[in-house]
Structures are given as C-alpha cells and as structure tokens.
C-alpha cells in the first residue's frame, strides 16, 4: 500500500491480523521492506500486525535530492509521520542496520510512540559514535563508510559490471535470487544515490544527539558481523534506561533477518511479550 507522509509517498507492506498489536519494521542498507519476509510469519502467528515501509530514498516517490534531507532527525520524523498516517498511537519497533539507527532515535525522542524496541545489528548511535572515536577495530570495520560518502565514486564502484561489488556485499543473505532481490532495485536511476545519502548526511553530532532510551529494549547482535564489533555492541547497554536484553547470535553475519529469521523472530516475540 502507499502511505502519504510529510509530502512524500511511501510504499508500506502491511500484513497480519487487523486487530493485532502493531509492529513497525524498519529495514537497512541496501535492502528494502522485503528483508522482513521470513521474520513476519511468526509475528503474524503470534497475533501481531506488521507495517514495513520502504524508507526515505528507497520508496521511488520519497526520494529527495538534497543530501541534508537524509539526516537522522529527518528519518526519525518520517517514522513518526508514518505512524500518524497509519493511525497507530504506539508500536513495537524493530529496526535492522540503518533501520536500527532510526528505531533508536524514535525510541529516544518519542518514547510515547514506542511500546518496545528490538534493534538489530547496529547499537545505540551514541555507543557507535564512541566506538568509532576510540576503538581501532571498529574504525577498521567502518572504513567502508569513507567510500560510501564519496558522491559518484561510490556509485561507480558498487554498480560496475552489473553491480558486482554490491552483489558481493550482499552475498551472505542467501542465493543469487535473494541477492538480486536487493541489488537489482539499487540499479534503478537515482536509487543507490538516495540510499547512500543516508551515509553522506550522517554526522557525529547527530549520532551523539540521540539520547538514552527509556522503553523496554532488546539489542540483537551477531558475532560474525563484519561491520559492528563487540566493543560497540557491548557499549549499547549504557544508553538504555529501560529493561534491557543483549542477545548474541553465534555464527551469523550482519544480515540477521535473512540468515536467522527464526531466532530473530523469537527475540522480537520475547520482547513484545513483556509489553502485554
């Protein structure tokens, strides 16, 4: 379905019992709302209703040209506006990768709109900023961001030879068909640039501006994540004042919703269950 919010048109996948408690699912880079497809059946079976938007830059009719339009406060404001447009007062919120950053910002800045939070792969933005500033290993893990922030160069590298580099980045999500499911939309004109603008608009000031999270929170991290190290992951707890759980998935890479949808769904259901 299409949802109008803040003058933009978002594509939103909606499913589950019409009277179920709402769950807002926020995807990461370079994916889209389809990354939740193997997670949601368990949520629906448990009586939850899911709303999974293609976020700013990923929905073709929600693709501003200005890099500043992709700052974290703008992305969080989209999530609030989408809840308003959907008629949802407060939702269980689940976010992966960049979607986790948006989810952290939503839970910190608008806790009245968040029943529970399950953040996946990426820790609280302030914990991430601290690790980037102090942890040599995390700096090395995040070195790819320097390329992503280079307009034109990043697009050229990632899309060359029918997006070979982008496909390689995604290879752990599964077979060729699943990789193509995410990589092919990024080859559409303007799509990859819009997705990369999230990185280009990112600043330390915006990361550290995200305050402590007072809502019940679970952070799900995997020990084979090449982008997020243990230092950043374990620093997350200091930025949650509500009930907090840290779930580590062994032998799983960064792409948790694709690689481990069952354990992730279990973590989400365990968290949402505490709010009922």
- How high is the pLDDT of residue 165? 95
pTM for this entry: 0.97
DSSP structure class, residue 116: E
Q: Which domain holds residue 64?
A: 2-273
CATH number of the domain encompassing residue 205: 3.40.50.1820
pLDDT of residue 273: 87
Within 8 A by CB and 6+ apart from 68, the residues are 74, 201
For residue range 188-208, what is the model confidence (pLDDT) as tens digits? 999 999 999 999 999 999 999
Alpha-carbon span 274 to 243, nearest angstrom: 10
What digits encode the pLDDT tens for the residues 203-228? 999 999 999 999 999 999 999 999 99
Instruction: Give the span between the Cα atoms of 76 and 81, in whole angstroms.
Output: 9
* 274, pLDDT greater than 60: no
- The stretch 74-84 carries a mean pLDDT of 98
Q: Which residues of 201-224 are buried (b: 16+ CB within 10 A; e: fewer)?
A: bbeeebbebbbebebbbbbbbbee
Q: What percent of the chain has pLDDT over 70?
A: 99
From 78, 37, 80, select the one nearest 61 (Cα to Cα): 78
| Cα 242 to Cα 194: distance, rounded to the nearest angstrom | 34
- Distance in Å from the first CA to the final CA of the chain: 28
Q: Give the C-alpha separation, 125 to 122, whole Å.
A: 8
Q: Name which of 145, 135, 143, 144 is nearest 230 in CA terms.
A: 135
pLDDT value at position 257? 98
Q: What is the pLDDT of residues 239-266, one digit of tens each?
A: 999 999 999 999 999 999 999 999 999 9
pLDDT band at 147 (very low <50, low <70, confident <90, very high): very high
Q: How many domains does the chain have?
A: 1
For 140, the token pair is 């090395």
Tens digit of each residue's pLDDT (9 = 90 or more) over 20-48: 999 999 999 999 999 999 999 999 999 99
Q: How confident is the model at residue 275 (pLDDT cuts 50, 70, 90)?
A: very low
């Amino acid at each position: 379905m299409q949802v109008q919010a803040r003058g933009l048109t978002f594509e939103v996948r909606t499913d589950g019992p019409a009277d179920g408690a709402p769950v807002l699912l926020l995807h990461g880079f370079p994916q889209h709302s389809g990354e939740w497809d193997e997670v949601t059946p368990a949520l629906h079976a448990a009586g939850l209703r899911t709303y999974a938007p293609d976020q700013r830059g990923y929905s073709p009719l929600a693709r501003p040209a200005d890099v500043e339009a992709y700052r974290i406060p703008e992305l969080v404001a989209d999530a609030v506006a989408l809840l308003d447009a959907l008629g949802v007062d407060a939702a269980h919120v689940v976010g992966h990768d960049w979607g986790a950053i948006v989810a952290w910002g939503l839970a910190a800045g608008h806790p009245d709109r968040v029943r529970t939070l399950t953040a996946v792969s990426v820790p609280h933005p302030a914990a991430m900023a601290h690790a980037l500033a102090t942890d040599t290993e995390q700096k090395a893990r995040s070195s790819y961001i320097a390329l992503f922030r280079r307009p034109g160069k990043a697009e050229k590298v990632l899309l060359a030879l029918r997006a070979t580099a982008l496909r390689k980045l995604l290879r752990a999500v599964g077979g060729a068909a699943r990789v193509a499911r995410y990589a092919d939309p990024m080859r559409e004109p303007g799509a990859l640039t819009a997705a990369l603008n999230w990185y280009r608009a990112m600043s330390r000031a915006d990361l550290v501006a995200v305050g402590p999270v007072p809502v019940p929170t679970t952070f799900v991290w995997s020990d084979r994540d090449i982008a997020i190290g243990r230092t950043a992951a374990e620093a997350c707890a200091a930025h949650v004042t509500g009930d907090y759980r840290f779930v580590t998935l062994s032998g799983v890479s960064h792409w948790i919703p694709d690689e481990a949808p069952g354990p992730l769904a279990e973590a989400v259901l365990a968290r949402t269950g505490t709010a009922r």
